[in-house]
Structure 1
Amino acid sequence: MIMRRTPSSSRLPVLLAILVGLVALLGWHEPRFIEINNLINILRQSSMVGLIALGMTVVILTGGIDLSVGSLVAVSALAGAGAARAGVTFPLCWGAALAAGALLGMVNGLGVARLRLPPFIMTLGMMGFARGLAFMVTGGKPLTGFDASFRWLGIGGWMGLPLPIWVFGGFFLVVWVLLELMPWGDQVRSVGSSPQAAWGSGVNVPGVTAQVYVLCGVASALVGLLLAGRIDSAQPTAGVGYEFGAIAGVVFGGTSFSGGRGSLVGTVIGVLIMTVLESGMNMLNVNPFAEQVVKGVVIAAALVLYGRTGQALRG
């Protein structure tokens, strides 16, 4: 039987305290920050990066990383948008986008699992390939002019909350069940902790490795659909920089770059902290270049705080 490794229970309260303290500080400095509309907007923004961060968490749990997620957002959005413009019904449009994300994710997974390419190299190559493909098929121009049914996922709402928040919540629940209640979660953690030991326990290491990249590709596709629906445009530049935001949330949430240990809840709180920080700096008119410096400092501080610096370098 594979023993499941769980993150330190003391870490989540610390993250929650940081989140609450940050919101309180920004609200005290700028009362508009804690207005309900702004808080809902923060949740909407968090849901976009958060979807990718959930997929990234599972990948990093196996000791891997996926730098191609932003490019997969663009390709998936274009696949769904192209189907929509061809007159395909909206469920099939969504299916086309999800299939594109899953397919490219599978290519990543097979490259890492079967060809034994380093995850950094494989996904860096996919990042360039997918982005180039997006520009090639569109000529660098966005696809626009979708009907309301295609846009619904990005602009609709339910019970006073935008649909992207509900999509994020549903995806979180699915991934949480897979990781915490199913044997697959033990297998993912065991691959990250020790692939050799996982082999000895009967785990299909290449299969599990490929599956986590497929899951990450599906998460990217969901973001592509939400983004295209919200702005009524599928752009070849969509998703640029999303990999940085996702990795930042995962790192701040305490997932180990060496694999085997991590928390979906920690990732969610980490993403919220990064989004609150970014939103607060925007509201306070902080120089955009300074924002990047602050984010980098926060990530470095998180690595030091969790004692992961050496592990990250080895990963």
Structure 2
Amino acid sequence: MTTNTLFIRILAFGAIVAIIAGLFWSQNPAFLSTGNIRALMRHMSVNGVAALGLTFVIVVRHFDLSFPGVASFGAMTMGWLIAGGQPLWMAISGGLAVGLLFGIFNGIAVARFKLPDIVTTIATGGLAIGFSYFYSNGTSISRNFFMSGLLDINDGRFLGLDRPFAILLGAALIGILILNASRFGRAFYATGENETAAWYSGVPVNAMVVAAFALCGLCACLSVVLLVASSGAANVSAGTQLLMPAFAAVYLGAALFGRPSVLATLAGTMLMSLMLNGFTLLAIPYYYSDAIVSTVLILAITCFDPRISGALRRLIPARKEKLA
């Protein structure tokens, strides 16, 4: 992508943000208030961290539908450890370990044993949801949460920023260093472009796929840590709200900037969070906002799919020739 093309895409993204913000502000001036912007950034943090992990799986041209279930299992694991009196760092580590282990399992199943990614991750996600019921028979866990310091993750500030947003920026910085500023990251893109060519070039293709799924599981559980810290309770449905916004953010960002990347995912997350926050302020029923998110996802996939975009590029010159 040339510098001019990137500049044009950035300008287009800024214009879209300004238009969306202006429309919601015209309907409710509280949209641009300090309190609402902070709430928007906290909401963006939860979905953004999950979307960052999913970005790696999309880069290697696979899908992971298990991460909402894995996130719920991670939330219940963390809640069970906190309720049992374990230190906060150990409880969070236990929740993150769940995501990492499930991600590694998914990656090995898909890369080593060549199982279909969609079916495999649906199965492992269901398995994770089933495991999450073992801790409390499906009831939410909140014992010791107030004394553990978990809620401080949501309420505290770091360098003037709310901690959830600071965690998102930290995760994004690490993601940029991995994906866009290292040889390791170029191997992800090479794997996604052409696994056979990447393998002959010396790229450990299977290891890259496993790493992508592992990062997706890890980020899903980190995302649900932020979610549980804001709600004050862990429950078996904690991760269910992550699926659509995460996929929509990744594909919307990829459609806007030409390919999936960390910065593109952040841009997509911002747009999705702007819309969802605005719908909430305007008291639009959730099923309308869900329908709009689904529509955005379909349009983003249509724009990002190389077969469709290629067909459109071939169609436009053909129509110009006919008109000439």
Output the TM-score relative to the length of structure 1: 0.90
Relative distance call for 1:298 and 1:111 in structure 2 (3 A) is same
Question: Deviation digits for residues 10-58 of structure 1, max 9, x if unmatched?
Answer: 4333222211221122112211111011011111101100001011111
Structure 1 segment 188-267 matched on structure 2, within 5 A: 188-254=188-254, 261-267=259-265
Structure 1 segment 17-28 matched on structure 2, within 5 A: 17-28=15-26
Which residue number corresponds to residue 97 of structure 1?
95
* In structure 2, distance between residues paired with 1:218 and 1:60: 15
- Deviation, 1:159, is 4.2
Question: Deviation digits for residues 75-103 of structure 1, max 9, x if unmatched?
Answer: 11122222222222222222111111101
Relative distance call for 1:101 and 1:303 in structure 2 (3 A) is closer
- Deviation, 1:121, is 1.2
Larger Rg: 2
Relative distance call for 1:262 and 1:308 in structure 2 (3 A) is same
Relative distance call for 1:89 and 1:186 in structure 2 (3 A) is same
Letter in 1 for 2:208: V
Report the 3-state secondary structure (helix = DSSP H, G, I; strand = E; otherwise coil) of the residue aligned with 1:109: helix
Relative distance call for 1:263 and 1:17 in structure 2 (3 A) is farther
* In structure 2, distance between residues paired with 1:51 and 1:168: 6
Report the 3-state secondary structure (helix = DSSP H, G, I; strand = E; otherwise coil) of the residue aligned with 1:136: coil
- Deviation, 1:263, is 2.2
**Structure 2 residues without counterparts, runs of 5 or longer:** 310-324
Which residue number corresponds to residue 29 of structure 2?
31
Q: 1:170 and 2:170 equivalent?
A: yes
Structure 1 segment 1-315 matched on structure 2, within 5 A: 9=6, 10-145=8-143, 146=145, 147-254=147-254, 261-306=259-304, 308=306, 310=308
* In structure 1, distance between residues paired with 2:14 and 2:113: 41
Letter in 1 for 2:171: F
Please identify which structure carries the higher helix content: 2
Tell me if structure 2 keeps the 8 A contact 1:52–1:216. yes
Moved more, 141-150 or 43-52: 141-150
Alignment length (residue pairs): 305
Tell me if structure 1 keeps the 8 A contact 2:129–2:236. yes
Relative distance call for 1:112 and 1:137 in structure 2 (3 A) is same
Letter in 1 for 2:129: R
Relative distance call for 1:12 and 1:122 in structure 2 (3 A) is farther
Tell me if structure 1 keeps the 8 A contact 2:77–2:132. no
* In structure 1, distance between residues paired with 2:181 and 2:200: 22
Relative distance call for 1:93 and 1:108 in structure 2 (3 A) is same
* In structure 1, distance between residues paired with 2:31 and 2:282: 10
* In structure 1, distance between residues paired with 2:102 and 2:152: 25
Moved more, 166-175 or 220-229: 220-229
* In structure 1, distance between residues paired with 2:172 and 2:30: 29
Report the 3-state secondary structure (helix = DSSP H, G, I; strand = E; otherwise coil) of the residue aligned with 1:254: helix
Letter in 1 for 2:281: M
Tell me if structure 2 keeps the 8 A contact 1:15–1:270. no
Tell me if structure 1 keeps the 8 A contact 2:259–2:304. no
Moved more, 16-25 or 243-252: 16-25
Tell me if structure 1 keeps the 8 A contact 2:154–2:230. yes
Relative distance call for 1:230 and 1:203 in structure 2 (3 A) is same
* In structure 1, distance between residues paired with 2:42 and 2:303: 28
Letter in 1 for 2:215: L
Relative distance call for 1:47 and 1:64 in structure 2 (3 A) is same
Moved more, 10-19 or 174-183: 10-19
Q: CA RMSD in A?
A: 2.3
* In structure 2, distance between residues paired with 1:270 and 1:39: 17
* In structure 2, distance between residues paired with 1:203 and 1:104: 24
Report the 3-state secondary structure (helix = DSSP H, G, I; strand = E; otherwise coil) of the residue aligned with 1:235: coil
Tell me if structure 2 keeps the 8 A contact 1:47–1:168. yes
* In structure 2, distance between residues paired with 1:137 and 1:29: 45
Moved more, 108-117 or 141-150: 141-150
